Structure formats: structure tokens, C-alpha cells
Amino acid sequence: MNLATYLQERKTYVEAAMEAHLAQCTEMPTRLREAMQYSLTAGGKRLRPILVTAAAEAVGGDAAAVLSCACAFEMIHTYSLIHDDLPAMDNDDLRRGRPTSHKVYGEAMAILTGDALLTEAFAVLSEPSVAACVAPEVLVVVIHEVAMAAGGAGMVGGQALDMLAEHRQLTLPEVEQVHRCKTGALLQAAVVCGARLARAERPAVAALRRYGAAIGLAFQIADDLLAIEGTTEMLGKKVGNDLARDKATYPAMLGAEAARARMHALGAEAVDALTDFDERAAPLRALARYIIERKS
Ligand code: GRG
């Protein structure tokens, strides 16, 4: 398979679905909808929604049937970026190559935009057209998985741990815990939810959970390496912020080479988790490689 073509096709597919959804959100204030649209359409790799569709297909499901769930993951991810960029957090001016939400809409509206995207994600996940096609017991499990990954035990909790750890010496297991929650939880849940909606058997879900955990941590190590070795043009955001804030990362703790070795080992672990899957998991295998080799 040609990964570049696959990624581009999937990106277009997911973006069209998000645009269509936003066009239907006519009951919210126009300015809020504009701000949601501004951040949602700013680009980005769309990795989480692509993982939802790839995982569904890996277990014999259909990408179209999990498209709402895919959009929900991108909405949650985008909300986290908006809030992460706020002056109270990372105070960044640039995201996805554009001025950050609070720079354009002001802090209060940026907070509300993040809140609305998070809430909208659950509306999309549970909208009647989805609920009509998915067994209620499956949908409830998926909604719970998303909530746990996004909330205090997952992404938000990881962000809190990260914040509390600034200027404090963390151990490597503590750094790993921060990464697994802050970044890994949502990536892992994207894979698991795609598979669950496609009615995957229990062993397949367990294998995909292992795959998701490995790519989740590898993704963050890759991100931390890019933060040292990348440029603003490549990444669409300011580089060097983590160093300035004295954040604990794998490269900072182990050095770039050892961090890279750990990242490659995690990539291999992810591919290994897919041993019992057939050719339909080819995109997931390619995505594991992409996550560690990406330049943005
Ligand atoms: C709830 C405020 C709040 C934060 C949650 C995810 C997160 C924690 C903060 C976002 C900032 C950050 C550095 C997160 C680590 C995960 C990460 C590298 C996000 C960037 O993801 P990409 O590279 O972004 O997939 P694109 O723009 O391609 O979608």
C-alpha cells in the first residue's frame, strides 16, 4: 500500500465529515461555530480519526460505519490543543501553522470553543443516526472508553501530571506515566473504539489495545524528538518550548539516541501485537512505522 495516498484520502474523508457535521450545528452562536470551524479545519495529520477507521477495517468492519466516532476523536483532540495553547497552559501563538484560537477569538471564547468541541464529540458519538446502527451495549462501552481516555484518568489527568511535574525531577516510569495518559490514552482509545464498533472479538480488542499503547508512547517520544530536531515550518508550532519549560521527556532524560531506540522498540512492539491479523491490518502496520518516522 502507498501510505501517503492512504493518509491523504483518509484525511479528506474525515475532514468532509467534520465539515458536514459543523454545517448542521445551526443552533449554536455563529461566532462559536466559526471558532470551532477555525480550529477543526486548520489541518493536522488527523491521526486519531484515521486510526479509528483503520482499526475497524483491520477487524473486517467498514470505515463509513465508524466515521462519526472518528470525527469525535478529532474534536476531542482539537479541543485539547486549543486549551493546551492558552496563556494559562503553554501560552503558544501558533498551532497547525495558524495563530492559536485565543489569539484570534480571545481567551474566553477559546475556552468555550474547547468546551463545545469536547461536548460536541459526545453528541456526534451518540447521535440518532449512529445509535440506530450500533447495538446499545456496544455504543455505551465505546462512549465510556472515550470518556475514560479523555478525562482525569487519561488525557486531562496526564496534562495535570505534566503541569505538576514542571521543574521537578521525574523518574523514567513517572515520565512514561505522564505520556501514556496525556498522549497515549486517546490514541489507544481511537484504535479500541474503531475495533469495538466493528464488533471485534475480545482477543482482537486486547491485541489492538497493546498496539494502541505502544504507538501512543512511541508517538510522544517522536514528538519530543521533533521538538528538538524539527523546525517551526515543519511542525506549524513554535519549537523549543518544552526545553524552556524544563519538561521531562525521554530525549531530555535518556539522550536523543536512547530515546530513538526506545521509540523503535515500541514501533516493533506495535507491529508484533498485530501478528494474528491478516492483510486488512496493513494500514495499521504502516501507521506504526509512520508514527515513528514522521517529520511533522
Ligand atoms: C485537556 C488542556 C488539555 C490538554 C490535554 C493532548 C494534550 C493534553 C495537550 C496537547 C498538547 C500536546 C503537546 C500534547 C501531546 C500530544 C501531542 C503531541 C499532540 C499533537 O498531536 P498531533 O501531532 O497534532 O497529532 P495534529 O496537529 O497533527 O493533529
pLDDT tens track for 210-239: 999 999 999 999 999 999 887 777 767 777
**According to the model, what pLDDT value does residue 45 have?**
96
Over residues 33-42, mean pLDDT = 96
Sequence-separated (6 or more) residues with CB below 8 Å from residue 258: 250
**According to the model, what pLDDT value does residue 245 have?**
57
- Is pTM beyond 0.85? Reply is yes
Return the bridge partners of 95, or none: 98
Q: How many CB atoms lie within 10 A of CB 129?
A: 8
Over pLDDT 70: what percentage of the chain?
Answer: 97
For residue 246, pLDDT over 80 is answered with: no
For residue 8, pLDDT over 60 is answered with: yes
Asked if 59 and 195 count as a contact pair (C-beta separation under 8 A), the reply is: yes
Closest ligand 1 atom, CA of 186? 6
How far does residue 183's CA lie from ligand 1's centre (Å)?
7
74 lines ligand 1 (CB under 6 A): no
Ligand 1, pocket-test mutation among 7, 52, 81, 156, most atoms within 8 A of CB: 81
